[in-house]
Amino acid sequence: MEELDLGEAESIALAIEHKAQYLIIDEYRGRLIAEQYGVKIVGVLGILIQAKQDGLIDSVKDEVQSLRQVGFRLNQRLEPVGRFCELIFNDLLVLTKELKLSLAG
């Protein structure tokens, strides 16, 4: 785990030690390493989707926009490819019923 920063490495170690049901982690490398150790992971978007499904928040879109205003990025690897990232975000909004799927081409 030496290729991770201290906080991510410690989070993974604690998840393993305490047999956590899930580890909340968004950093790509940390997610890969956690999965290699058999740790189930969920990211901020997964938490927001569940919160919407449980009626705890009204809008995933609004929450993501608020997070983006403070520097949150959906995925560092996708961010430079803006249109692709937008399509993934739109799929998320369809999943949470905040955007209707249009079959018109």
pLDDT in tens, 8-67: 999 999 999 999 999 999 888 899 999 999 999 998 888 888 999 899 999 988 998 898
Number of domains comprising the chain: 2
| Global model pTM greater than 0.95 | no
**88 lies in some domain:** yes
Contacts of 88 (CB under 8 A, 6+ apart): 74, 75, 78
**28 lies in some domain:** yes
**49 lies in some domain:** no
**89 lies in some domain:** yes
pLDDT score, position 80: 43
> How crowded is residue 99: how many other Cβ atoms within 10 Å of its Cβ?
15
**pLDDT confidence tier of residue 93, bands split at 50, 70 and 90:** confident
Identify the domain containing residue 79 by its residue range: 58-95
**10 lies in some domain:** yes
**66 lies in some domain:** yes
**76 lies in some domain:** yes
